[in-house]
Structure 1
């Protein structure tokens, strides 16, 4: 059981990428007051935890019933992430409101999905809790690992506040452009991996 927990911890840490989430959170929340940043961080972690735990419970059932493959989720997520990255790089919105616009909650997108609970993280929890391979007790261990990583992610996101104080608004603007370029590259990578372009190149 200990080996299972360690394996799940390493796998989920890599797929969830808490450090990358902190960088994205610091960039997107630079214009928000401190109290609002904490609220956004809490909501993002809460939503992504529900998504990942829900994937453990009913992920395989829902995907099978709707005949949706995880590769389709990966392509869709990559396309949406690429469009969002373009907005960050070119700064289509010159003046941002102090609070998120209605229907554009950054705690939901892109923080909860696809930054924390992305297609790769959902795929990981589904595979690590395969009903045909793992027992209920093993799946419970995986669920506990998910909660632990989410707690660490939330703690790291709270540390984004001193980071913002150090880099300032100009530093945050530069970081936003760089992060946008990285997100664009990640989006292309997700799509290429899903459609198998990498295999053709290699």
Structure 2
């Protein structure tokens, strides 16, 4: 594998995992969790995402081929889930309102959903891993190198999530509430685009756009 191939895979995985896009999700998911647990929250999320992506790296292609699943269905399902989460970010209770209830919790289940899945280990990331490690086109050594590139991207994701905690403390509770709602709107747009892309891959949009 050439250096340009490694760079291409890095860029591909960085875009589909989108560590920067996971920052507002992290801030929202940790709104009611003590700051001392944010590092554990981020670490758990990245580890869970790494396990899920690792499973797809090893056996994702075999699974998809075995059940005859079309790639577009991943895009549609992931888009719907992200859209529902985006609605909760936009219309849900703000951080300031939640503090009135003194509702701090040590529950880290939010590290799995929605941060690890589907924010970090997104449907697009799962599909990208399957494509980049095509068993019919890539040797085992090349697939292992793709796994190493994936590990680097996940490490960068962890670092950015730790920085997100500092951003949260810097801008304050009101700032977090405003950013959460703005990012929720952006996330909703991304989710709709994912659904449309999935429909296009499955030929649904082309079919509906054709003259009757």
Using the size of structure 1 for normalisation, the TM-score is 0.90
2:50 aligns with: 49
Is 1:32 the counterpart of 2:33? The answer is: yes
State the distance in 2 between where 1:41 and 1:155 align: 9
User: Does the aligned pair in 2 maintain the 1:4–1:138 contact within 8 Å?
Assistant: no
State the distance in 2 between where 1:108 and 1:100 align: 14
Structure 1 gaps, min length 5:
none
Decide which moves more: 91-100 or 51-60.
Answer: 91-100
2:173 aligns with: 169
**Displacement of 1:56:** 0.9
2:104 aligns with: 98
**Displacement of 1:7:** 1.3
1:16 aligns with: 17
Decide which moves more: 40-49 or 77-86.
Answer: 77-86
Q: How many residues align?
A: 199
User: Please, which of 134, 148, 158 is the counterpart of residue 130 of structure 1?
Assistant: 134
| Per-residue Cα deviation, 1:72-99 (whole angstroms, up to 9, x for no partner) | 1221111121111111111158637422
Q: Which runs of 4+ in 1 moved over 3 A?
A: 92-97, 197-201
Structure 2 gaps, min length 5:
none
User: Does the aligned pair in 1 maintain the 2:34–2:106 contact within 8 Å?
Assistant: no
State the distance in 2 between where 1:119 and 1:64 align: 16
